[in-house]
Structure 1
Amino acid sequence: MTGFLRRSVCRRMVSTWLLTAMTGLLLPASSSGQDSAKAPEAAPPTPVTRFPGLPVQEGDDPLSLFIPKDEETSDEKLKDEALAWFMTAQLHYSRGENSEGLAALKKTVEKDPSSLTPYRILVPALLDARDLDAARKYALQGAALKPEGIILVQGVALVLTRVRQVDEAIALLQEGLALVPREKELGRYLSLQRQLGALHKAVGKNQEASDYYKLVFDALQAPDSKLSPEQIKDLLGEPGALFDEFGNVFLQSAQPELALKAFDEASKYRPSRPGIHSYNLALLFRDTKKPEQALAELDKYFAAQLQIKGRDAYQLLKDLLTDLKRDGELLGRLEKMKEADTQNAALAYFLADQYVAAGRFDDALAAYRGAPGGARDPRALVGLVHIYRQKKDWPELFSALTRAFPVVDAQDEELTLRFQEEVDAIQKDKDAFDGLVAHARKLQSEDPPKLEFFPAYIMGKLCIDTDRSEDAIGFYRYAISMQNSPPAQLYVDIALHLIQTDKFKPAIEILTEAVQHPSLDDERPYFLDLQIAALEMDGQTDKALEVVTQAKQDYPRALPLISREAWIYYHSQQWEKAIAAYEALIQAGPSLNAKQEMLNTWRFSLSAIYVHLENFDKGESILEELLAKEPENTQANNDLGYLWADRGKNLPRAKIMIEKALAAEPENAAYLDSMGWVQYRLGQFSEAKESLLKAVKDPKRQDATIWDHLGDVYDKLGDKEEAIKAWIKALEIEFEKPKQEEKLVKSLLQKVPADRIPKKDSSDSK
């Protein structure tokens, strides 16, 4: 049962350091979630200089604040009260009291749920407060209220897309779509279809995107269209670009005839630029295995010296010549085009890249420097990174690499991918990485130091990514020392890395410094929480309890700190105290404004404790009660499924539940382990081996229980040597922990031959 503890409270951390490095150093804001507004008295409107606005599309102005001008009638008492709350919200926002303003807006909706006006303001305010769950909820309520409220759903979906929650945006729009009657609200219905098509295209689901786009395309082409001219105009936007996009999606979903219709439609809006239509036809002909015709059409595009398709046009040329087995023509064609079109930057950089691919580095350097944007352009910098790595010129590589990070635009997916490949290559090239570190240290040691802040930060991030902790600490401390008010993210990055790699003592030092830093008062609760966790994981339980007791007094509404004491008891295996603490938290949850997700986390922990104490029925009942309320809850399905599998009961149903969890998170190692274990219990040993091998593939996320399970599977398959190796690996992982799972270790020691039992690490370096 030891594995159940691990899977119920596993940390979920995603590495987004490349994006962070490119877009700035940010620490997520937090809010208490309190509705702290006091009951209002009717008051005259107060001018507001800024009210949160809802962006529906890029460049949109925020929705404006609506204030009724007509005097309400005496039989509209409820609306009167809602208006008072509405004006109170204005007053709070004008004073910068955003939490109180938000609470007042919620009261406005409560007092007049039939009006769309408060929703128009509340939803943007929730987005401004980063409460996406509540924004979704109220946006859907507004859309259900009146058809025009669907704009709120579309706006929230756009924000979800911007924060890379595209699947959530799609799900929200699909819910919104069900609220819009197609016949009565055809314009809005098709607008949602178009947005859904764009989002599916963004995540590479071209078949689904084409289904949405086809519906819009057919409606626009219908001779008896029920759309008004204004609705058609709104749907089209920039018609040529829209029909181009339709055509490309149709092409990628194996519908060439439909693609041709869309491309033909696009050409009608660009009669003076036939070259674009030729490019589209080239795509179509290549897709239909007609490379000669495709090349002829592409040459028409090049003859017009158009740049609108950028690098894609030259990549298409390269692909077509490869199809025709005429690769040797590429450089000559590109050089000839460049002579005739000297200001075409996309062409110049593509030519330089081809020189790099051919190993003609001197020609490539000259081409990058002579391009319209010069060697400072991100397209050049990515190429220079490759060249200088090949030339083993570490100072120039350092310069190109650190200059590339802030200018490579994440929106340029092709360039970002190439840059990431170069970064990966550097991290795998020991000589190159050692050279970069040595050069950075040399700059740092000069008098005065010549290592600047951002390059130091980048080197720290790269060292984290390659598990060079000592180097990472050095670069981060140097970067922090350069700032009077260092970004909180610097402390977050290095502290989380040290905790994740079980280097708790240096993590505690970093976090103690962050907690005491005068410029980080707003982030102090967050750093206190990390510091307390690190203390406990370092075995300093008494100190952790001492710090958390004071922290709860200092921040009585900070839920992570309030719940940390229970976790300390859990982690230190003080089970009775942990049970009492978690039960108290669950009981007090509503008064603490704890969200359902937080309450569920506490329930998962409580269930895991009962399971560890072999009170299986109690552990199961907690999960069953949760699933009765939330049958789709991913972790509850996994945890109960695993628990049943471990006990050998309800195995077919357990497998279905774990499959449901894996469908939501197919790469989750704990869920893969659960699947492997239920397959083992069902006698499906080959399938279990496959699942468990997937679960252990990440070298940074190793778990003793999973390796123990894998050993058991190998044993059943008759591969005793591989079984012993897996059990040894499990022991090695456990022996590295400050506190070990006694039951698991005892079981493993019985499986591994005495002469092959690994030695415990007796060092105290963590």
Structure 2
Amino acid sequence: MRLFIILFVFSSTVSFGQWKSFYPEKENAKSKQFQNDKNEKKTLLYNNLFFNAIKQKSLENFDHAIKLFEKCIEEKPEFFEAYYQLSLINKKYNRILEAKDQAFQAVSGQPKNIWYLRNYADLLFLNQEFSESAKSYNKIIEIEPNNEFNYYKLADTYIYSEEYSKAIKVYDRLEQKKGVDKMISMQKHKLYLQLRNFSKATKTLENLSQNFPDDIEVLQILAEAYILANKQAEAMKIYEKISENDPNNGQLNLTLANFYRDNGDFNKSFSELKKAFQSDKVNIETKLTILASYLSIINTNDTIKKQAFQLAKILESNYSQNAEVYAIYGDLFYSLNEKEESKKYYKKSLNIKQDIKPVWTQILFLDVESANYDSLILYSEKAILYYPSEPLYYYFFGVSNSYFKNYEEARVALETGIEYVFDNDALNTEFQISLADNYNSLELFSKSDSLYKLILKNNPENILVLNNYSYYLSLRKENLIEAKEMSKKCNDLEPNNGTYQDTYAWVLYCLGEYEKAKLWLEKALKNGGESSAVIIEHYGDVLFKMGQKNEAVIQWKKSKSVGEGSKFLDKKIINEELYE
């Protein structure tokens, strides 16, 4: 019985094993085929999704691309290309932290993928994580040791983290591979200077000059290094070598001019400077800058003045159609207070080129200083054509038109110009004063009075307005008490001014206070009024009112001999009567 059972079990086991090994084989094959089909379909769908994301990225539909790449990550988080592509998009939009995290995911999955590593290193650099960025670039160099770009990027990380010694070592490694390189050596020289290791900085240049003995730039920098190290003799040898190799080097002439000047040999210095000004290898901008440096010292002595004009003449000879040359020529004369000569050269400049704004401004200020209103009206109008939003030019045009009693043209210019005044309270006030005076001349009294009051509200001690407003009120015989108060305040603020004293006297005259008016007019006459036809005529009017007819006629005649008085002056003299 026991044997039977054992045999049965054994027999059954064998039979079962046979059955299990045969019948499920067909089912397993079907199951595997189904799974393979399913995986292929899933892969196909994923590939379509990924390539659609790539397509949207290439079409710059970045928002749509981001959504598709994010879906790719949901579907296959182990497929790291989607992280990399997302990182690139976010970097483009300067979303550095997001881009860095995505780059990190890509690198974590494929730590030797050079593109992933380079992107990650770059993002660390952009996020100013220079130390971590350096680690990534070192990994990149292990993978790609012959790519120069990698060394430059690694050196940059050390430079930005101010680890200059490490940067130098990177450049040394690169030069070991490719030999002495000018750009690399120049960079090493700068880094040694940052480290204040002047001996190694100079040695780097010496080594470079041995490899590039005819490179003028290298030789010049080496000479400058010798000068900084107080090795004047070595520097001079270098300069002599440069002169032999390139005798017409204007830049060298400039360097030598500085060298001789710093060593106290001013004659040789200026001689080299003249050569530089003659050289076409020194650009005009540099020459103009050097000549402009003379403006602040031209009055020091005759030697400096002579040098400045010698250099200016060289420029005029070599650049006869350059407007900036004539402009700086004008500046030289202006610095010497030779204003007519300066204006002549400014006008030459404008004849060549009309868009040098400072030249227009200088001419207009010179016209104002010399009270040349004919020129002022002409050039201010021209200036507006080239600079239609410059308020100062409208102001000058308005003032000059007012001088010629073109009040309507003045009004238009002033009303236009004041609209362009921003952040300049002083100029805005000047516009308001001129406009108020203009409105008064056009008998737009409500406008003029409003402006005068506005100005005085902002600045109650504006002397010009206190005088003008009170005088115009006296002419209109209006608000005389107010006019008297303003004129008195004006004289308190600025005593001994004949014009302001005359205004106060005239207000008193209009109020019938003739004795006081006479006293103030006599003050005015002592303070410059003897040369004013208006003040002398006013004095005659007061004398007439006080019964001193003969003395009044004498003053009227004197007024006529001095200049232009009122429209009644001739009639007063002929008829010996007062007319107002």
More helix by proportion, 1 or 2? 2
Structure of larger gyration radius? 2
TM-score, scaled relative to structure 1: 0.35
Which structure has more relative contact order (CA 8 Å, sep 6+)? It is 1
TM-score, scaled relative to structure 2: 0.44
